[in-house]
Structure 1
């Protein structure tokens, strides 16, 4: 059984109403690693559930996810759960045990911090699986904007119709003035991902970041790939499972690991999608290393058009996180003056920073 299957089970438990956050999911993975898959039921029950009311929900989801025959197992007695799971189990630990738990949790936290700063191209298979799990837990969201729609509010402009209707209901007697204010809605998020050969080492992580964004707001997020042509992959990324979404996206991208024509791809996006409303007032994120086969002046023209339409224009270049990097490539130098933010995308920490930049008002 893969880590993705276990994380998918934890996600199903959380969606059913059990507050299984990232720390509890990590505790479950450590418990399964210690106890083995034979004791999967108890490993998940002791770490994901926080109170007695969670137990019947957990049992129902476990039976639905793994089958009813698997849960009838005796409680393990000899193996000892990792101390990281102790804070989620009832009871008050002794001072000696509390000290040991703090030490182990500190080591675990340090390991995650080290993994957060490492370049995704230098990860082992197990570390890559852990980064993918953490990326699936991200929920990138954009800043809000004022909508044209209005609703009753305690302060704001006077609502004449609402005030008159209130007077009619009270028999024509004067009443307090009704007021209304504008609704606030999240801005649209548009992700333009470079899938050319030079971006191959980082394409998987960036695509999984896009999948997390689509999962959070399926109707408010658009994802396109840039290469020798423009491809819309939003529908493919709406699969719940990250691996299935990756496979579906790869199936519809004809120029995966091919050449780069950023200017032509951006022009196709602006002509067909951007100026018709997709990029207007949106947070637009371009993920590319800036290598352009064509004329950089053409790319500069398209970036100027995109800058006029977007509320915020962010460029993500994985090479920016490396020592000694300078934006000297022709395409990167042409695009940079029109970007509001220039961030790296080479590691888990850099992608978490990108989520913060996207949410910035």
Structure 2
């Protein structure tokens, strides 16, 4: 897309030159086509910013609202300016003076990673509050906004997450310090003391691993988070072999348990990537969940299991179908944990039709956008419920 020469005069400020809702969404689609990561979160922030400005009918206000919410790096600004000029037929407003470095750092600390444009300071340090260490910032940073080096380090840290398997009571008993009296062991011990039962023996209930099922959304809207979530699934498979099943969902259901059973995380992720045919495709969660239940769930894979679904809930198909299949899954599973990367953002509301349809059948609705969130998610799976307890915690 050819970039137009930036004019020093302000853009037209009449209502005729300002976009309404449809053109604004069209601008977002144009930015996506040009290669910007103008995802749903940024689009919602854009619309909220337009609602907050004093004069949303002014094209210059639209320009600055979009620039602050839809761009996060200096390289994206040129693409944004070109798309804005081509879409609205007006040159972008004159550039404003850059903020001093201390003020820019304070603004970045308030907005958080990716919360505003990052022009001025290149590199990962531009996203970090000065008082926080790199490790702490990486632990809480949004995985979808990391650079290449940070993503590599985050991938290594995800592979180090401890994932204890959830347990369930078993019918078998074993010797224990308390519980039900064990007559056989008590009498055997009494025979060694001339028939005097000096010490009583007991047996207690044992437990066994509970099944875990992981469904990871690999559609386009989940692209920045699919790989970290699959790495977490690899951790669960390695820590809970034989009782963990992993599937990718999007436009097709793909079983990834065998690929993720490799000991080396990089090898496992490469095998999973080669096996998934619908990376960055659409989302048909209802149809894929129905296929899973028909082929695997009803035959025992989901019965009594902790089911982890990692998705943003953007359903292109029939949302009522997803709601019906979630109700069906809830009757089979021990507990359903849904991890949504957008749940960790302030002010998030489940506006997507698919997410709203699934929510009544979810036991624990948790974020999945950062290393810290993934660590808590692993603990939620191990305990069978999220930290803090309660439905949709």
TM class, shorter-length: 0.5 to 0.7
CA distance in 2, matches of 1:122, 1:254: 25
**Could you say if the C-alpha distance between residues 149 and 319 of structure 1 is closer, same or farther in structure 2, counting changes exceeding 3 Å?**
same
Question: Which of 150, 154, 158 is the equivalent residue of 1:135?
Answer: 158
**Could you say if the C-alpha distance between residues 162 and 305 of structure 1 is closer, same or farther in structure 2, counting changes exceeding 3 Å?**
farther
Q: Which one has a larger percent helix, Structure 1 or Structure 2?
A: 1
Q: Which residue of 2 is the match for residue 276 of structure 1?
A: 299
RMSD across aligned positions (CA): 2.2
Is this contact kept in 2: 1:156–1:181, CA < 8 A? Answer: yes
Name which of structure 1's ranges 181-190 and 131-140 shifts more when overlaid on structure 2: 181-190
Q: Compute the TM-score of the two structures, normalised by the length of structure 1.
A: 0.65
Deviation at 1:288, TM superposition (A): 0.7
Are 2:170 and 1:153 equivalent residues in the alignment? Answer: no
Deviation at 1:218, TM superposition (A): 1.7
CA distance in 1, matches of 2:358, 2:281: 21
Equivalent position SS for 1:254: coil
Superposed, 1:140-219 pairs within 5 Å as 140-163=163-186, 166=189, 176-219=199-242
Equivalent position SS for 1:291: coil
CA distance in 1, matches of 2:132, 2:204: 44
The structure whose Rg is larger is: 2
Q: Which residue of 2 is the match for residue 320 of structure 1?
A: 343
CA distance in 2, matches of 1:215, 1:125: 26
Equivalent position SS for 1:183: strand
The count of residues paired between Structure 1 and Structure 2 equals 255
Is this contact kept in 1: 2:330–2:336, CA < 8 A? Answer: yes
Is this contact kept in 2: 1:343–1:354, CA < 8 A? Answer: yes
CA distance in 2, matches of 1:203, 1:323: 21
For structure 2, the residue ranges without an aligned partner over 5 or more in a row are 1-129, 385-393
CA distance in 1, matches of 2:298, 2:131: 48
Deviation at 1:250, TM superposition (A): 1.4
CA distance in 2, matches of 1:212, 1:286: 16
Q: Which residue of 1 is the match for residue 327 of structure 2?
A: 304
Are 2:148 and 1:125 equivalent residues in the alignment? Answer: yes
Equivalent position SS for 1:326: coil
CA distance in 1, matches of 2:345, 2:307: 24
Q: Compute the TM-score of the two structures, normalised by the length of structure 2.
A: 0.60
Deviation at 1:287, TM superposition (A): 0.4
